[in-house]
Structure 1
């Protein structure tokens, strides 16, 4: 029997969502989940073949509208063009899963300026570009909405070989709080998810390695997370049920971020 109270509380029916970084892993999972919750979904990524296939799958599985839009968050003009296409195809997106990001694992003394600039341009400035463009368009239409930035528990603490990535994600958390503070007046909420170890296409080889398994076993949960365990937090923050929740950096990590040693 369907629980109408819970279903209604977290329903995204009638909403338009944009997922940046939707071609694989967490972003792809977010896109499917938002559609299953009732939203029409725009999938943004550089790998257009991936998002076109995913858009077709989403429409088949959920019956919601889904479109694939080329998006390079490191290019401001690409970001603006993406929003133009989404508005023309689905309407103004009021749910933004700001998920695009990269990691370049190296020891701290081995990084160069290109590593720094590339990571910051995508992980931090890219999220700023998408979040700012989304909010400008919501404000212009008199709409409120929800932006969910994908940060990391490495924005809360650090581990070896992740100096630049951890720095970028710590900055994302502070940016999230600053956006939330200023944009609450417009009814635009901004929160961050801080995932722990989740096995995805990008990190699967490392997670399965001997070193990766040692790291996973050292966490309180003794395992990596499944993407399906991250989705409820996204839906909570994206939905009107969280209308008074903003500026939060929410760890989803099996207590990893609170472990001292």
Structure 2
């Protein structure tokens, strides 16, 4: 167990039963978007191991004596490595505790929930999954963008813009080929220009509508839309911060203008993004 996590951990306690781990989706940022089942798990927890993207307000649902352990990750900075998180989950469950792993969004959508589930199963530790509202659906709802629409988009793809160093590149040809599909890129702010260039190089029109949504569903939400050809320039000039989602497709044209600012061209200044 990492030394910094050890400082926050409760001492081992004898137990006549094995503990249980719940992987709980906290939702995209708004604490009200967690499920009722997720709240009940927090209320029953002995230990909560939580991410940076999980709203701190959710910890108010916990008992006063709960052990709280932050393992938050930021770009380029992991406070606890993934193997260390596995070790924490296993150690507390083996001590007979009810453990909630609170994860931003949904545990199984770019949340490494699958890796944690496998690590726990290999140790014979019971694990349950409580889904959450993922960033794509949360940000879409918060900006009035329907991810699917009978006339505009018959499907949607969720894509990690950042890839592991040894991972194969995305199949840009396939992504650009289906004009009736909405593309949602997670962790995309620093890769916005690359995303725009690759999609256009592989055949998607530069006039395709695009939206960038930062800190979606929270009081810090900022959103702007533009054309695919302007994506890189707008991402550089608009004051957005991570986490930021990129939505590409005709459905973006339906965005609520009161919630999403419009940048018309590379030459014009980007308007202030709505609160």
Structure in which a larger fraction of residues adopt helix: 1
TM-score by length of 1: 0.35
